[in-house]
Structure 1
Amino acid sequence: MPLPLISPMLATPGTLPPPAQDARWAYETKQDGQRAVVYLAGDGGVRLRARSGEDITAAYPELGPLGGVLGTTAAVLDGEVLALDQQGRADFQLLQSRMGLVQAPGKAARMAATVPVHLVLFDVLHLRGRSLLRLPYLERRARLEALGLAGPFWSTPGALVGHGREALEATRAHGLEGLVCKRIDSVYEPGVRSRAWIKIRNMRTADVLIGGWSPGRGRLTGLPGAVLVGQRTAAGGLRYVGGVGTGWSEAERTELAALLRADATAVCPFDTVPPAPGAHWVAPRLVGEVRYSTRTRAGLLRQPSWLRLRTDLTPEQSAADLPDTSA
């Protein structure tokens, strides 16, 4: 019997459940990888499909042996493909070197030897010819864990019922992306962004200097679509750390545009000219505070959004919160 194609259930951004409801929720570490629905046909084969439905099996040949671990038992599993750094944490930048190799199996095989991936499994959707979608989360988790799926390139991390605040603090302490809260009585809703699953991303803040801006389009014509920001290096230079294009109200964006025009300069203030065609440069006098999730190995901010102008800080007082990129 062919396995059914199932779109992954999605989590809604939010906050921790109220303390009085804590025991009704399970908590899993939020992983920074590529979502994958895994199809084990029971004949030794394995297929992985991305959220888009694309077959991504060929990009990850090291996961091939997973097809035989359940013998003739057919199953559909939900999980996430990760690339781990030297500290064992998910590194999306590393994973990007593996994604997109579906049409290049030779390169995928070579990359598997130097940048191996790891598949974390957190749900079972179909098992032994029966759909499990209408079963509550806790029962599905029990059935998943009973499969004993642990191997060189895959694992089934545990979930914690209750103690949500402690779980969230632990992810922050270990530098992990965040937490997913799942209601223990929730059914699996394919393709739905459900309130029964809540994702909480650990966000960080940093002080940055604005060194330029990219023009907006459409209703933002004449206004900055994004500001180009940097941070001071120990040598006194200005290292580019990314572009920030969200977080303003219309009034704030208009006010910022006037400030940027007053600081216009023909010279790029960054140590290295950033890849921003059509950018307008400004003298780095304005200090801003931004929120971001993580940094790439090159020090760029991931998912940055604007918080506020730091009119209380001079450019000399802004913190140089730069990572060590010498490794």
Structure 2
Amino acid sequence: MPLPLVSPMLATPGTLPPAAQDARWAYETKQDGQRAVVYLAGDGSVGLRARSGEDITVAYPELLPLGRALGPMAAVLDGEVLALDEQGRADFQLLQSRMGLVGSPGRAARMAATVPVHLVLFDVMHLGADPLLRLPYAERRARLEALGLEGPFWSTPGALVGHGREALEATRAHGLEGLVCKRLDSVYEPGVRSRAWIKIRNMRTADVLVGGWSPGRGRLTGLPGAVLVGQRTGAGGLRYVGSVGTGWSEAERTELAALLRAAATDVCPFDAVPPAAGAHWVVPRLVGEVRYSTRTRAGLLRQPSWLRLRADLAPEESAADLPDTSA
């Protein structure tokens, strides 16, 4: 019997469930990787499909032995492909070096030796001849854990029932991306962004200096589409840390445009010129506060958004990299 194709169920951004309902929810660590639906036909083969439906099996040859892990048992599993850093935390930048190798089996095999991935499994939608979509999460999770899928490149981390606030604080303390809250009685809804699954992303804040801007397009013509920001190094230079293009109202963007024009200069203030075509440079005297999820290995801010101008801080107060604070 051919296995059914299943689109992954999606979580809705939100906050922790009310304390009175805490015991009705399970909590899993939110992973920063590539979502993958895993197809084990029971004949030793394995197939992986991305959230888009693209077949990504070739990109991850180290996961092929998973096809023999259940013997003759067929299964459709839900999980996330990760690349781990030296501390064992998911590093999306590392994973990007693997994600584009679907059409390059030779290169994928070579990369698997230097940047191996790890598959985290967290749900089962089909097992043997039985569809499990209509079973509650708690029962699906029990069946998944009973499979004992633990190996060199895959694992089934536990889920915590109740204690959501403690779970969220633990992800923050360990520098993890966030938390996914799943209602114990929820069925699996393929392709649906459901309120039965809630994702909470840990965001951090940082103070930055504005060193330039990129022109907006369309309705933003004549206004900054994004600002180029940096942080001071110990040597006094200005290290580029990213481009911020969201977080302003129309009035705030107009106000910012006037401030940037007043600070215009022909000299790039960053230690190295950022890869920003058509950038306009400014004297780095505007201090802003931004929110972001994580940093790349090069120190760039991921998913940054503008919070506010820090008129209470002078540029010289950013003489060195400022510590991040959890939002």
Give the TM-score, by structure 2 length.
Answer: 0.98
Q: Determine helix, strand or coil for the equivalent of 2:212.
A: strand
Q: Which residue of 1 aligns with 2:191?
A: 191
Q: Which residue of 2 aligns with 1:53?
A: 53
Q: How many angstroms does 1:322 deviate by?
A: 6.7
Q: Which residue of 2 aligns with 1:74?
A: 74
Q: Which residue of 2 aligns with 1:28?
A: 28
Q: How many residues align?
A: 323
* Structure 1 unaligned spans of 5+: none
Q: Is residue 236–residue 319 contact of structure 2 (8 Å, CA) maintained in 1?
A: no
Q: How many angstroms does 1:321 deviate by?
A: 3.1
Q: How many angstroms does 1:319 deviate by?
A: 6.3
Q: Which residue of 2 aligns with 1:206?
A: 206
Q: 1:226 corresponds to which letter in structure 2? A: A
Q: Is residue 32–residue 92 contact of structure 1 (8 Å, CA) maintained in 2?
A: yes
Q: Which residue of 2 aligns with 1:135?
A: 135
**Aligned ranges for residues 90-101 of structure 1 at < 5 Å?**
90-101=90-101
Q: How many angstroms does 1:130 deviate by?
A: 1.4
Q: 1:142 corresponds to which letter in structure 2? A: A
Q: 2:168 corresponds to which letter in structure 1? A: L
CA–CA distance in 2 between the matches of 1:194 and 1:317?
Answer: 45
CA–CA distance in 2 between the matches of 1:28 and 1:276?
Answer: 38
Q: Is residue 210–residue 288 contact of structure 1 (8 Å, CA) maintained in 2?
A: yes
CA–CA distance in 1 between the matches of 2:282 and 2:44?
Answer: 60
Q: How many angstroms does 1:76 deviate by?
A: 0.2
Q: Determine helix, strand or coil for the equivalent of 1:58.
A: helix
Q: Confirm whether residue 271 of structure 1 aligns to residue 268 of structure 2.
A: no
Q: Which residue of 2 aligns with 1:115?
A: 115
- What is the CA deviation profile of residues 88-108 of structure 1, one whole-angstrom value per residue up to 9, with x for unaligned ones? 100111111111101111111
Q: How many angstroms does 1:318 deviate by?
A: 2.5
Q: Which residue of 1 aligns with 2:173?
A: 173
Q: 1:132 corresponds to which letter in structure 2? A: L
**Runs of 4+ with >2 A deviation:** 318-323
CA–CA distance in 2 between the matches of 1:226 and 1:5?
Answer: 40
Q: Which residue of 2 aligns with 1:64?
A: 64
Q: Which residue of 1 aligns with 2:296?
A: 296
CA–CA distance in 1 between the matches of 2:42 and 2:58?
Answer: 19
Q: How many angstroms does 1:30 deviate by?
A: 0.3
Q: Determine helix, strand or coil for the equivalent of 2:98.
A: coil
Alpha carbons of structure 1 residues 254 and 184: separation in structure 2 relative to 1, 3 Å: same
Q: Is residue 299–residue 322 contact of structure 1 (8 Å, CA) maintained in 2?
A: no
Q: Is residue 59–residue 104 contact of structure 1 (8 Å, CA) maintained in 2?
A: yes
Q: Is residue 234–residue 319 contact of structure 2 (8 Å, CA) maintained in 1?
A: no
Q: Determine helix, strand or coil for the equivalent of 2:70.
A: coil
Q: Is residue 239–residue 272 contact of structure 2 (8 Å, CA) maintained in 1?
A: yes
CA–CA distance in 1 between the matches of 2:16 and 2:206?
Answer: 24
Q: Is residue 207–residue 319 contact of structure 1 (8 Å, CA) maintained in 2?
A: no
Q: Which residue of 2 aligns with 1:41?
A: 41
Q: How many angstroms does 1:129 deviate by?
A: 1.4
Q: Confirm whether residue 89 of structure 1 aligns to residue 89 of structure 2.
A: yes
Q: How many angstroms does 1:233 deviate by?
A: 0.4
Q: Which residue of 1 aligns with 2:164?
A: 164
Q: How many angstroms does 1:320 deviate by?
A: 3.3
CA–CA distance in 1 between the matches of 2:131 and 2:221?
Answer: 51
Alpha carbons of structure 1 residues 55 and 232: separation in structure 2 relative to 1, 3 Å: same
Q: Which residue of 2 aligns with 1:2?
A: 2
Q: 1:14 corresponds to which letter in structure 2? A: G
Q: Determine helix, strand or coil for the equivalent of 1:97.
A: helix
- What is the CA deviation profile of residues 33-79 of structure 1, one whole-angstrom value per residue up to 9, with x for unaligned ones? 00000000001000000001000000000000000111111100000
CA–CA distance in 2 between the matches of 1:29 and 1:319?
Answer: 36
Q: Determine helix, strand or coil for the equivalent of 1:186.
A: coil
Q: Which residue of 1 aligns with 2:284?
A: 284
CA–CA distance in 2 between the matches of 1:174 and 1:28?
Answer: 14
CA–CA distance in 2 between the matches of 1:261 and 1:24?
Answer: 54
CA–CA distance in 2 between the matches of 1:275 and 1:191?
Answer: 36
Q: Determine helix, strand or coil for the equivalent of 2:126.
A: strand
CA–CA distance in 1 between the matches of 2:74 and 2:48?
Answer: 14
Q: Is residue 34–residue 81 contact of structure 1 (8 Å, CA) maintained in 2?
A: yes
CA–CA distance in 2 between the matches of 1:160 and 1:303?
Answer: 28
Q: Confirm whether residue 248 of structure 1 aligns to residue 241 of structure 2.
A: no
CA RMSD of aligned residues (A): 0.9
Q: 1:166 corresponds to which letter in structure 2? A: E
Q: Determine helix, strand or coil for the equivalent of 2:95.
A: helix
Q: Determine helix, strand or coil for the equivalent of 2:47.
A: strand
CA–CA distance in 2 between the matches of 1:76 and 1:279?
Answer: 48
Q: 2:152 corresponds to which letter in structure 1? A: P
